[in-house]
Amino acid sequence: MEISLSQRMNKFGESIFNELANYKKQKLQQGQDIIDLSVGSPDLPPPPFVIEELSKHVHNPSLYGYSLTGIDELHEAIVDYYYKNYDVQLKKKKDVLMVMGSQDGLVHFPMVFSNPGDIILVPDPGYTAYAAGVALAGATPYGMPLKEENQFLPDLEAIPEDVCQKAKLMILNFPGNPVPALATESFFKKVIEFAKKHQIIVLHDFAYSELYYEEKPISFLSVDGAKDVGVEFNSLSKSFNMAGCRIGYIVGNAEIVDAVNRLKSNLDYGVFLPIQKAAISALRYSESFSNDLREVYKKRRNLLVEGLAEVGWIVDAPKASMFIWAKVPVGFTSTDFTYRLIDEAGIVITPGSAFGPSGEGYVRIGLVQNEETLKKVVQRLKEIQFLK
């Protein structure tokens, strides 16, 4: 039997992430010791009380049915969390929607608001799920370059007028992945003005909201007028080390939230209720845990940034997120440098070009290993010739 794929699948070829995973597997089979800093997955567990909460409710036989939507208590915890942390007032019955991890929501979101041929404004470089969502919707992406000279913020004035007229959605991500930049209040004000002028919905991905160091990130919804034009996605994956639990949420404009809920009600039957109970606990009681987690990542950041400087590789210390966005040494493309680092040092990172054309010339390095392992990374870099 001949299997024929849809034309849509032409947009979903093998990614660089799969290529790197396969190459890493080959090296491991050859006996090479590999340190993987390529995947943005927390290596630490959730708070103990969150695990205890999950364990307690797993033993309740009445919680194994379909949850369908987020329970009221979860919505209340999200509303309280946003008011406490960002002074944002939300209505739990209208402004909040649970999703099965923020990526699930991000990928499906464009299908709700765009038609084939519509334009979606995306960060370049940007998280790969954005491109997947645009492709599923049959829309056309328009990359907004994130350049160092603009503090890695999109230049809205550089977007052509004909693109603005066709655009239905703008996706933003601060603190970002792969670029760990922070947005300013003045930038968000420009975004709101731009969105109102051109009737564009704004989606702000705030998944790294709790992973910051010297400066607390700004919630898009905390800026006057933001709720008129958009929503904010958030997740418990990175902030509370609950990546495998697959739970996140959308907050903001009630009409937008309701529209996404219409689609979601036809796609899934909700998140396992014990996981929702654990998420409630994380949102309500994790303040001290979040402070401790930030210190862990800050120590890792400082160790690696200082270690890279010792070998002559000068990189900017990120103010937030779990990534370092680093320029590759002169003479290399992002991909060439990535594979050279695997071959000669057994270190896996991600080429910036995997996230969009403007990522060329950079690599993403994840702070996803403990300090002892990161010290080994620095030592290996000191021993390879092409960095000397």
* CATH superfamily name and code, 10-39+288-387: Aspartate Aminotransferase, domain 1 (3.90.1150.10)
What CA–CA distance (Å, rounded) separates 33 from 215? 36
CATH 3.90.1150.10 in the chain is located at: 10-39+288-387
Task: Determine if residue 32 is left, alpha or beta; phi over 0 gives left, psi from -120 to 50 gives alpha, anything else beta.
Answer: beta
Distance of CA 38 to CAs 57, 87, 208, 315, Å?
Answer: 34, 35, 17, 17
Q: Could you tell me which residues come within 8 angstroms of residue 193 by beta carbon, excluding any fewer than 6 positions away?
A: none
Task: Give the chain's length.
Answer: 388
Task: Give 158-169 pLDDT, tens digit per residue.
Answer: 999 999 999 999
pLDDT above 80: residue 112: yes
Is the pLDDT at 248 greater than 80, yes or no?
yes
| CATH topology assigned to domain 48-284 | Aspartate Aminotransferase; domain 2 (3.40.640)
- Percentage of the chain beyond pLDDT 70 is 99
Q: Is the pLDDT of residue 95 over 70?
A: yes
Residue 387 has pLDDT above 80, yes or no: no
Nearest to 130 by CA among 163, 97, 100, 169: 169
In the chain, CATH 3.40.640.10 sits at 48-284
Instruction: Name the pairing type of β-strands 248-252 and 119-124.
Output: unpaired
Q: Kindly report the pTM of this predicted structure.
A: 0.96
E-strand stretches of 32-92: 35-36
What's 385's DSSP letter?
Answer: G
Residue for token pair 């329970």: 71
